[in-house]
Structure 1
Amino acid sequence: MLQLVNLSNYASDLELIHNNPVCLEAFLNHHHLDGLEMMFCDSWNPRVHKKQWIQGVHLRFWPNWLDFWRGDREELLRQFGSDAQIEACYGALTREGWLNVYRENLRIAKMAGAKYVVFHVSQTRIPELFHWQFSFSDRQIIEATIEVINELAQSIPGDMELLFENLWWPGLTLKDKELTALLLDSVKHPKAGIMLDIGHLMNTNPELKDQDDGVDYVLKIVDNLEEYKHYIHGVHLHHSLSGNYIKQSRGTAMPQEDILAAAMSHVLRIDEHLPFSSPCVKKIINSVQPTYVVHEFMYTSINDWSEKIRIQQQALQYKER
């Protein structure tokens, strides 16, 4: 089992490590970590994010992409207002152009030596984040994801694991074994699997009271996958107990000003990305036996990041090698 942390090459994350590989290496060594799950928001600089540290790459994602994939120009213009804004969002105005954005992301992942890539399976328009009345079903989103992945299949190396990540919005929630099976059995890639995001799965149940309650719920959902449980090759490890906020905010109207900032704030209040402190979390790791455990947090400083890793590793009773 490899213990990793999430990191991007976005400006704020570069500032966090002072754009310095020595700082990053010291951080990884201090926490006895095996490397990184990177997100490349820009071109890869191997001087800073060294190849030997990169185990996986989280591919870029668009929370709202299915209207674009379906070519629903009327709906896109209603949402974005102009072709220029559509292109600014997706990096293209056509399916093929958008697929090329993914292909470039995959090319960088291959260059960086990633053993796996992560693909979000979810869809929601911005107003739906607030009122929870969704335009597409889990099945529609999964079927469209299969189409996208099969278009990209030739760009994914055969020895690279393709791990689908669950979310709490419509798509792959892992609560439906048959839909999970449909996705895994239909994509044209020999090493398809699941990146189980613990906090995201906890967000599907707003009645959870504490970490131990959340662990029991996660284990129940995982066991219900039956044979598809064995497709879980990685875990994004963090917890989220935002049920009270979900229940209080569900059904609210989308703000009319600073929409993107309000949406981001709203999502972050749901998806807390907090460290597990209860040793009960070991039950998940023991049940799933993942190859990759990613301590996935949001952090405000290097000290904040370090403390969250320390808390969670203590919960796992991590021992020095």
Structure 2
Amino acid sequence: MKELINYCELPHGHNPKPLLDINAYLQAENLNGIELMLYKNDALPCNSLDKILGIHLKYWPFWMDFWNNNTEALKMQFACQQDLISYFGNATSTEAWLAYIKDHIRAALALNPEYLVWHVANADYQEAFTLNFRYSDAEVLACTTELFNSIAEIIPATTLVLFENLWWPGLRLTNKEQVDSFLAQINHPHTGIMLDLGHLLNTNCELQNEVEAYAYALSVLEQLGETCKQIKGVHLSCSLSGYYVKSFEKKFPNNTPIFKHITQIDQHRPCQNSELKKIINLIQPQYLVHELYYNDFQELSSLLKIQRNAFK
């Protein structure tokens, strides 16, 4: 099992540490590498490319209306046409958006990663607050299949593509038949699942503590049966946000900024309870990514110590 940390190369340069300097930190913490969240399509300055084992591809939280050419819904989501175009990488059509995605994947592949991560979900800002979703899991999975298969040819057969679960409509991992059908229709020979543990916990608002949380996660994974073997990686963090989800006012617009709202749902706190070992032992992942919120590497070191104690 290779142990990694998440690293976000943010669009405006607000990063916890320059990527040029990351090698010494990885050695000090006995880590194998990083999973880089790549926002941009241009080359990345880095002298430690061999430490970038995974690339988390750029994602669009809501895209189904654009894909389905639902112009009325798009008018509700964007104040003007230019905002819409900017959101989709300056694309004015789905064909142009696919070209942008291909360029983005080429930029990721230039870093020679062992795997790519692809989010499978759809929820616009209004839905994120009202929780009244217009698309079902099955619809999001079907469109994701169409979208991915439209660009799959540019990804080398040897590059592992891992599809990540979320708690919004899409790949939630709570329905084995849907998961199996989705993976079977993907046109790429080397695929699997990136289990985001916090995202899975977000699908159950009744969880009160980590013991309950990991028991719930185990029950979902066991129901997947043989499909559980498709989980090749884990984004490791804990999220117990049921109280918040039950408490906020289900209306839009809501006075809470969208980023603050999402981070209160998806908490990315370190796992602390040793019941976590049962999940890791069941999955036996190739990649374990400590996906935690941190402001600097000194803070991350403290969080890593807490989380590692829970499963080692």
| Residue matched to 1:30 | 28
Unaligned runs of 5+ in 2: none
- Is 1:301 paired with 2:296? yes
- Is 1:230 paired with 2:225? no
Between the aligned partners of 1:157 and 1:46, the Cα distance in structure 2 is 23
Question: Using a 3 Å threshold, how does the CA distance of structure 1 residues 268 and 20 change in structure 2: closer, same or farther?
Answer: closer
Kept after mapping to 2: 8 A contact 1:59/1:118: yes
Instruction: For residue 14 of structure 1, report the CA deviation from its aligned partner.
Output: 5.7
Kept after mapping to 2: 8 A contact 1:181/1:228: yes
Instruction: For residue 20 of structure 1, report the CA deviation from its aligned partner.
Output: 5.5
- Is 1:74 paired with 2:72? yes
Describe the SS at the equivalent of 2:240: coil
Q: Deviations over 1:97-124 (max 9, x none)?
A: 1112211121122111111111111001
Instruction: For residue 301 of structure 1, report the CA deviation from its aligned partner.
Output: 2.5
TM-score (normalizing by structure 1): 0.93
Between the aligned partners of 2:203 and 2:15, the Cα distance in structure 1 is 34
| Residue matched to 2:154 | 155
- Is 1:86 paired with 2:71? no
Kept after mapping to 1: 8 A contact 2:130/2:252: yes
Which residue type is aligned with residue 244 of structure 2?
A: Y
- Is 1:264 paired with 2:259? yes
| Residue matched to 1:144 | 143
Instruction: For residue 81 of structure 1, report the CA deviation from its aligned partner.
Output: 2.8
Kept after mapping to 2: 8 A contact 1:175/1:221: yes
Root mean square deviation of aligned Cα: 1.5
Which residue type is aligned with residue 7 of structure 1?
A: Y
Which residue type is aligned with residue 176 of structure 1?
A: N
Instruction: For residue 73 of structure 1, report the CA deviation from its aligned partner.
Output: 1.8
- Is 1:286 paired with 2:284? no
Describe the SS at the equivalent of 2:213: helix
Q: Which structure shows the bigger proportion of residues in helix conformation? A: 1
Unaligned runs of 5+ in 1: none
Instruction: For residue 45 of structure 1, report the CA deviation from its aligned partner.
Output: 2.1
- What is the percent sequence identity of the aligned residues? 36
Describe the SS at the equivalent of 1:279: coil
Which residue type is aligned with residue 58 of structure 2?
A: R
Describe the SS at the equivalent of 2:271: coil
Between the aligned partners of 2:76 and 2:214, the Cα distance in structure 1 is 41
Instruction: For residue 15 of structure 1, report the CA deviation from its aligned partner.
Output: 3.9
| Residue matched to 2:272 | 277
| Residue matched to 1:60 | 58
Which residue type is aligned with residue 293 of structure 1?
A: L
Instruction: For residue 11 of structure 1, report the CA deviation from its aligned partner.
Output: 5.5
Q: Deviations over 1:254-298 (max 9, x none)?
A: 2366xxx71111110010000011121111110001000000011
Describe the SS at the equivalent of 1:278: coil
Between the aligned partners of 1:306 and 1:14, the Cα distance in structure 2 is 19
Between the aligned partners of 2:84 and 2:12, the Cα distance in structure 1 is 25
TM-score (normalizing by structure 2): 0.95
